[in-house]
Amino acid sequence: MNVLPKRSNTQRFHIKGVLYFFLIIFLLIFSSIITGTQLDQFFNHDSLGQFAVLWQKMFHPYWPYWSYVVGPLLDTIRMALVGTLLGTIIAIPFALLSARNIVSLGWLRGVIRVISNLVRTLPDLLLAAVFTAILGFGPLAGVVTLLIFTFGQMAKLMFEAIETIDQGPLEALEAAGASKVQIIIFAVVPQVLNTFFSNFLYTFEVNVRASTVIGYVGAVGIGDLLQVTINQFR
C-alpha cells in the first residue's frame, strides 16, 4: 500500500514563504528610513494628481512637434544599430576565445574574460562623456560608446551559449581531423546561431534605450532634444 509522504508544518503553512515576505517588507521599510525616503509621498493627493495630468497629456500629444522629433529619433536608432553591429562583430572572436570547449588554454580564457568583465563595469554615461571629450559632440561618440558596451555584453552572452552546446558534433569533427576553424563553422555556428540573433536583437533593444540616455552628454539624438526641453520645463 502506497503511503503519501507527510508534509512538515513548515511546508503545510508555507512558513518560509511568509518569512521571506516579511523580510522583504522589513528591508523595504529599513532602507526607506536609512535613505530618508518617505514612501507615503508616492500616494498622496498631489503626487497622484500630477501623475494623472502627465498621463492625460501623454495620450494627447502635440503632433505638429513631430517634425522636430523625427530627425533626432532616427539618429538615436542609427547610433544604436551601428554600435550594436560593430560591437557584436568585435565580440565574436573574444567569445570563442573565452569558451572552455573551444580553447583549452586556461590562462588565455582567463585573460579574455577579465578584459570583457572590465569593459562591462564601465558605465555608459562615463564612456559617453570620455568619447565626447575626445571625438567632440556628435553621433560618433555615441557609436563608440555603444560599441564598447555591446562588446562586453555580447562577449559574455555568447561564450556562455557556446559552452552549453552539444559536444557530440565537435568531438566527431575533431576525430575526423577537422581544423579548429572547420569545427567552429560546422559544429559551433549551427548550434548557437539562433541564440546569437536573439542576443543581438536584445542588445540592440538595450542600446536604443542607452543611446537615448547618452544623448544627454552630447552624443546627439533624441536624448539631446530631451535635455533641451527638460531644461526649458517644456
> How confident is the model over 157-167, as pLDDT tens digits?
998 899 888 88
Residue 4: its pLDDT value, please? Answer: 63
Task: Name the nearest CA neighbour of 80 among 5, 15, 6, 142.
Answer: 142
Task: Name the nearest CA neighbour of 76 among 233, 204, 229.
Answer: 204
91 vs 154: CA distance, rounded Å? 6
Stretch 91-97: mean pLDDT, rounded?
Answer: 91
Q: What would the grid cell of residue 230 be?
A: 527638460
Q: Which of the two residues, 49 and 30, has the higher pLDDT score?
A: 30
Stretch 196-215: mean pLDDT, rounded?
Answer: 89
Stretch 36-52: mean pLDDT, rounded?
Answer: 74
Q: Which of the two residues, 61 and 217, has the higher pLDDT score?
A: 61
219 vs 158: CA distance, rounded Å? 28
